[in-house]
């Protein structure tokens, strides 16, 4: 047994090394850089001053909060929408289901930049959808471009396929007979769902939430094109530090904060959903 284990680890070793090399090294270099002195500050050795600098200015705190808020709202909107879509998908038969999944993954194939450019046209006050409504006086100018709402709308669209696929895979693994068993024992359709399907789908809801939050918090294209300089998030802030102020050390610290934020979110989400998962 232990021998077989050993061989397994040995076989895993090349990929582990590659992973450490490709992922670990840049990460370590980035974190090391975030501890270095930068032009704005006058400390000498490696220290947490860069982090202190960012965390002590309300402007940057607002950026951190905005990143957290956008990712959280995106997650809270996406998971229920994705859940409903996955439930509907589960009911479709083989061919219709495959077509639906292909349609769903199309935005992923098209690439986020293409889709975000579409959103820029669509969300503009004079856009093809909102323009006529504004012109007819039905709504005031919504000013979605450059707003947090606009970014969240496009983020939801971007992460939704990932959520649906994760939830769908999880729901597929729940035996349909379990719901029928609940019905035969006197549970209505809804109560069977609440007592059986929903609790059994929580592990996949947990995975989907983590994926969605991480994708939303680390996304760059949506906040960059739809939010702009008025709605900086940690990712766009990093770009600003690099491209506009040439401050690589603060950029590294901002990226380090994003990493911490996501780690905390993963722990938070796992604790929040995980305590309902039995046994």
The residue count for binding other proteins (CB under 8 A) is 20
- Per-residue CA distances from 44 to 16, 38, 198, 246, 250 (Å): 36, 9, 55, 19, 15
DSSP state of 92: S
Nearer to other proteins, 135 or 277 (CB): 277
Output the CA torsion 66→209→107→65 (10° steps): 0
- The distance of closest approach from Cβ of residue 195 to other proteins in the complex, given in angstroms and rounded to an integer, is 7
DSSP state of 208: H
- The distance of closest approach from Cβ of residue 175 to other proteins in the complex, given in angstroms and rounded to an integer, is 6
Nearer to other proteins, 272 or 277 (CB): 277
Three-class HEC string of 167-186:
HHHHHHCCCHHHHHHHHHCC
- The distance of closest approach from Cβ of residue 192 to other proteins in the complex, given in angstroms and rounded to an integer, is 8
- Per-residue CA distances from 21 to 15, 18, 27, 98 (Å): 10, 5, 10, 38
- The distance of closest approach from Cβ of residue 268 to other proteins in the complex, given in angstroms and rounded to an integer, is 23
- The distance of closest approach from Cβ of residue 276 to other proteins in the complex, given in angstroms and rounded to an integer, is 10
- The distance of closest approach from Cβ of residue 201 to other proteins in the complex, given in angstroms and rounded to an integer, is 10
The Cα 22–Cα 2 span in angstroms is 30
Q: Name the 3-class secondary structure at 226.
A: helix
Name which position in 5, 91, 95, 278 contacts other proteins (CB under 8 A). Answer: 278
Which residues ranging from 171 to 210 are in contact with other proteins (CB under 8 A)? 175, 177-178, 180-188, 191, 195-196, 199-200
* Apex 206 CA angle, 187 and 84, nearest 5: 55
CB-CB contact of 75 with 158 (8 Å) = no
Q: Name the 3-class secondary structure at 200.
A: helix
- Residue 279 interacts with other proteins (CB under 8 A)? yes
DSSP state of 144: -
- Residue 92 interacts with other proteins (CB under 8 A)? no
Nearer to other proteins, 128 or 279 (CB): 279
Nearer to other proteins, 62 or 189 (CB): 189
CB-CB contact of 219 with 231 (8 Å) = no
Nearer to other proteins, 159 or 200 (CB): 200
Nearer to other proteins, 61 or 277 (CB): 277
- Residue 69 interacts with other proteins (CB under 8 A)? no
Residue 132-171 contact track with other proteins, rule CB under 8 A, x = bound: ----------------------------------------
- Per-residue CA distances from 138 to 14, 119, 147, 153, 249 (Å): 62, 21, 21, 21, 49
The Cα 107–Cα 117 span in angstroms is 12
- The distance of closest approach from Cβ of residue 1 to other proteins in the complex, given in angstroms and rounded to an integer, is 22
Nearer to other proteins, 5 or 278 (CB): 278
- The distance of closest approach from Cβ of residue 177 to other proteins in the complex, given in angstroms and rounded to an integer, is 4
Interface residues with other proteins (CB under 8 A) are 175, 177-178, 180-188, 191, 195-196, 199-200, 277-279
């Amino acid at each position: 047994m232990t021998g077989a284990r050993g061989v397994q680890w040995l076989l895993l070793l090349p990929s582990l090394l590659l992973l450490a090399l490709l992922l670990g090294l840049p990460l370590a270099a980035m974190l090391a850089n975030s501890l270095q002195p930068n032009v704005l500050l006058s400390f000498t050795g490696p220290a947490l001053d860069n982090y202190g600098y960012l965390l002590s200015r309300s402007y940057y705190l607002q950026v951190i909060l905005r990143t957290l808020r956008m990712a959280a709202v995106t997650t809270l909107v996406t998971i229920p929408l994705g859940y409903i879509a996955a439930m509907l998908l589960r009911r479709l038969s083989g061919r219709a289901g495959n077509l639906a999944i292909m349609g769903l993954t199309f935005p992923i194939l098209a690439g986020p930049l293409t889709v975000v450019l579409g959103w820029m046209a669509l969300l503009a006050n004079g856009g093809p959808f909102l323009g006529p409504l504004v012109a007819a006086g039905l709504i005031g100018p919504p000013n979605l471009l450059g707003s947090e709402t606009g970014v969240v709308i496009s983020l939801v669209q971007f992460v939704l396929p990932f959520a649906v696929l994760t939830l769908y895979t999880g729901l597929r693994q729940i035996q349909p007979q379990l719901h029928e068993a609940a019905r035969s024992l006197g549970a209505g359709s809804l109560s069977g769902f609440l007592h059986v399907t929903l609790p059994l789908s929580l592990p996949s809801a947990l995975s989907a939430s983590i994926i969605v939050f991480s994708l939303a918090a680390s996304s760059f294209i949506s906040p960059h094109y739809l939010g702009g300089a008025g709605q900086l998030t940690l990712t766009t802030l990093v770009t600003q530090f690099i491209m506009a102020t040439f401050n690589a050390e603060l950029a590294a610290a901002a990226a380090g904060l994003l990493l911490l934020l996501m780690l905390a979110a993963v722990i938070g989400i796992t604790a929040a959903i995980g305590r309902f998962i039995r046994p």
